[in-house]
Amino acid sequence: MNSIYFLVQHMFYFAMPLLIVAMAGLFSERSGVINIALEGLMMFGAFGGAVFIAIMQAATVNNPMNPSLLLILALFVAGASGLLISVLHAFASINMKANQIISGTAINMLAPALLGFTARLITVNSTDKIAFSNNFQIQSVPLLGNIPVIGPLFFQSAFVTTYLGIAGLFVARFVLYKTRFGLRLRSCGEHPQAADSVGINVTKMRYAGVLISGALAGIGGLIFVIPVTAEFDTQQGVIGYGFLALAVLIFGQWKPYRILFAAFFFGILQTIAASSSVLPGIRDLPVNSYFYNAMPYIITIIVLAITSKKSQAPKAAGIPYDKGSR
């Protein structure tokens, strides 16, 4: 049972950032804008959140702030960081009608260079890393952590980000499918000319989709960093998680609950890859650890190859809207 507890708990560590960032891609693409910049936006969010945590911990060293409260505030900073950078992608894609893939790739290339330069300016030793004290793990949620089986699985050795991520999924689904805003957003990604003809401002809705995407990607960047390290390395970045989140989005067919399943699936693969040397039954296999590290990405390619023919992407995703065309 201890191995199962370990596997499930660590699966959440890897699955939550995939879930949040895939939802970020969902909002953007449902509005009609492909957001290939998720990797770079994650890095900006993780950097902003890590810097905020480091500053606040240094300022309150004599009277430490509640770790969970500090983490929640840092998530807001991370979201704001991702949102601000996503304005660049929105302006290029919507106003300038630039190629959305190139615009997103430019942000991905900008992130490590700009953040590495900034980190060296603001750190004492001029390093590429933003270090902080990682005391955010909740050893046991009061009452819930004592429930047999369920408690050790979901409410021990956890982070508040796990619960916020699950809650965010339900909020996102409600917004997309149960509100007027969600209906308008989805219509702009499917038939923007028809949406415009009934008075929907396609430009504003696409901006909203991209900015929400940027905020969620920024939050996802910090959620990725917190469970696994006590520093953010601007050169290592988020090791391809933005692109893996795109695979989760496609595998989930742009639908929230399917995205949740896909995030858990890839989260388990990442957990096995990261813990292959300690998991009973796996550590004894005559397989090189590099195979387990490559396995999530190999399976990603296989899954995308199988599901690509049945892809149900928004029809207008990636196509700049021209008000004069019909």
Whole-prediction pTM: 0.93
The position carrying tokens 């009973």 is 280
pLDDT band at 10 (very low <50, low <70, confident <90, very high): confident
pLDDT at residue 214, rounded to an integer: 98
For residue 100, give both structure tokens: 């959305």
The stretch 228-254 carries a mean pLDDT of 90
The stretch 190-195 carries a mean pLDDT of 95
User: Quick check: is 188 in a domain?
Assistant: yes
By residue count, the chain amounts to 326
pLDDT at 8 over 90: no
User: Quick check: is 37 in a domain?
Assistant: yes
Give, in order, the Cα–Cα distances in Å from 1 to each of 227, 270, 273, 291: 22, 20, 20, 26
pLDDT at residue 229, rounded to an integer: 87
pLDDT at residue 324, rounded to an integer: 62
User: Quick check: is 267 in a domain?
Assistant: no
Q: What is the pLDDT of residues 269-291, one digit of tens each?
A: 888 887 777 776 677 777 777 77
Total domains in the fold of the chain: 1
Name which residue leads in pLDDT, 301 or 134: 134
User: Quick check: is 258 in a domain?
Assistant: no
pLDDT at residue 325, rounded to an integer: 55
pLDDT band at 257 (very low <50, low <70, confident <90, very high): very high
Average pLDDT of every residue of the chain: 91
Q: In terms of residue numbers, what domain contains 7?
A: 2-239
The stretch 155-181 carries a mean pLDDT of 94
d(CA 34, CA 178): 23
d(CA 219, CA 74): 9
User: Quick check: is 259 in a domain?
Assistant: no
Q: What is the pLDDT of residues 45-67, one digit of tens each?
A: 999 999 999 999 999 988 989 99
User: Quick check: is 309 in a domain?
Assistant: no
Give the rounded percent of residues in the chain with a pLDDT score beyond 70: 97
Per the CB < 8 A criterion, the answer to whether 216 and 82 are in contact is yes
pLDDT at 292 over 70: yes
Give the rounded percent of residues in the chain with a pLDDT score beyond 90: 67
The stretch 60-77 carries a mean pLDDT of 93
pLDDT at 82 over 90: yes
pLDDT at 326 over 60: no
Per the CB < 8 A criterion, the answer to whether 192 and 68 are in contact is no
pLDDT at residue 207, rounded to an integer: 98
User: Quick check: is 190 in a domain?
Assistant: yes
